[in-house]
A and B are shown apart, each in its own frame.
Chain A
Amino acid sequence: RKEVEQDPGPFNVPEGATVAFNCTYSNSASQSFFWYRQDCRKEPKLLMSVYSSGNEDGRFTAQLNRASQYISLLIRDSKLSDSATYLCVVNPPWGSYIPTFGRGTSLIVHP
């Protein structure tokens, strides 16, 4: 099993739709989790942190499920500008500094 797995997609959705991505991880001792957004041929940009209690930022909601070892990202009311690749990042237990990125999930929002 890969350390961090994401469905590469693409997820093709109309404007206004709600879409959700999951990211599973194998190390149950992982300490922190993030979602990044990466536009084509650009650098990843930090989207949001993921907490057990959930984290909401406008149309975006991130959740962590430690029991099932996955994190999720929900995007409501999708905009054309949301089209990008969404990368999840899983960070190891304290004392190690090697984060593991998923390969990303591609989202295409169409008119």
Chain B
Amino acid sequence: DAGVTQSPTHLIKTRGQQVTLRCSPKSGHDTVSWYQQALGQGPQFIFQYYEEEERQRGNFPDRFSGHQFPNYSSELNVNALLLGDSALYLCASSLAYSGGYEQYFGPGTRLTVT
């Protein structure tokens, strides 16, 4: 049973650049959520995708955007990178039928902005 996968595992970017992170959900899951986790903090909800649409969005600027594909995989795009965007980006998948609250996380992408 394949778990949640994310790519790349690490990324170094320069301020002002753009980045795309990818996520494949756990087999059988149809909902993908993205989180940002700064050092020493809990994950902060960015947004959730279901049926290829953004279902809910947290308190993040429009520089953060996403997409979900028909196979349920998802991308997170961040434009005009700031130093403060350096963090661990986590993708979590869940099953909408069960309420979508029991989430399984991928290993994350560690983004460093210099």
Interface residues of A, CB < 8 Å — how many? 24
Contact with B along A68-102 (1 / 0, CB 8 A): 00000000000000000001000100101111111
- Per DSSP, chain B at the interface is loop
- Per DSSP, chain A at the interface is loop
Task: With both chains docked as a complex, state the minimum distance between the C-beta of A63 and any C-beta of chain B, in angstroms.
Answer: 18
| Partner-binding segment picked from B14-22, B67-75, B78-86, B105-113 | B105-113
In the complex, the answer to whether A43 meets B58 with C-beta atoms within 8 Å is no
| Residue on B nearest A44 in the bound complex, by CB | B105
Chain B residues positioned under 8 Å from A44 (CB to CB): 43, 90, 105
Is B44's beta carbon under 8 Å from chain A? Answer: yes
Q: How far is the CA of A100 from the CA of B101 in the complex (A)?
A: 11
- What residues of chain A have their CB less than 8 Å away from a CB belonging to chain B? 4, 8, 31-32, 34, 41-46, 49, 87, 91, 94, 96-104
